[in-house]
Structure 1
Amino acid sequence: MTMRPEFETEQFQKGLEVRKEVVGEEYVERSLNAATDFTAPLQKLVTEYCWGDVWTRPGLDRRARSILNLGMLMALNRKDELKLHVRGALNNGMTREEVGEAVLQAGIYCGVPAALDSMRVVVETFKSIDEESSEG
């Protein structure tokens, strides 16, 4: 990864480590390498404050944070982020069954259309993970 000067802060490095552990090094490297002068400030903000500040707080463990993220992303209809955080939830110790239960739980409060769309995303993500595992 080419390190941009604005990415060389201690807080960025702290967030970068957590971000890679949760959502995967390949995804993070791709996102950061694609950063332009225009988009780099957002990557810096997300990495430092979301991953370096909030995800490292002691009040909740990563598994609990993943459960919350699944529900919120489902409610907000953010399919791409949901796909990413399904992988993160598995990395943070959730089982596939628990991810399914999170979709059911959130579906009651977010509505059936959100639950159906989210379950499709979860199934597609599991399939992708399985294909990647069988290739590697």
Structure 2
Amino acid sequence: MSSEKFNQGLEVRKAVLGAEHVDRSLANATDFDRPMQELTTEWCWGTCWTRPGLSRRDRSMINLAMLSALGRPDELALHVRGAITNGVTPEEITEVFYQVAIYCGVPAGVEAFKVGKRVLAELEK
């Protein structure tokens, strides 16, 4: 895929999640899941993340809250890393997850803290 939005999305996706991760995801795509990789890159990263209304940092914090509330630990782990890249501090991540626990339920908050703790420990290595 080579649309303008895809290319813009690819640039943002690599900047936030890391080129190595994105390149590996695209290289490992099969005929079955390649359309999802393309859709995610074009729509999520190329259409949404390139809009001027919010900073990447703000978008990261919103994603942390939404993914926590939805109970998506794999995506949450990925976006904890991206949030750090975008300048969100571990203290701010704690506050996001605390807010999730209050408004979305303690189990969602507990799971978010587990994921965040694991990812932050990995990043410290």
**TM-score band (shorter)?**
over 0.9
Pick aligned residue for 2:24 from 30, 36, 43: 30
Within 2, Cα distance between the matches of 1:11 and 1:35? 19
State the one-letter code of the partner of 2:122: S
Q: State TM-score, norm by structure 1.
A: 0.89
The answer for the alignment partner of 1:118 in structure 2 is 112
Within 2, Cα distance between the matches of 1:115 and 1:56? 29
Within 1, Cα distance between the matches of 2:72 and 2:60? 15
Within 2, Cα distance between the matches of 1:46 and 1:52? 8
Question: How many residues matched?
Answer: 125
Within 2, Cα distance between the matches of 1:87 and 1:126? 8
Within 1, Cα distance between the matches of 2:31 and 2:24? 16
User: Among the aligned pairs, what percent are the same residue?
Assistant: 54
State the one-letter code of the partner of 1:75: A
Divergent runs of 4+, >6 A: none
- After superposition, the CA RMSD in angstroms is 0.9
Within 1, Cα distance between the matches of 2:61 and 2:68? 11
* 1:39 Cα deviation from its structure 2 partner: 1.1
Structure with larger Rg: 1
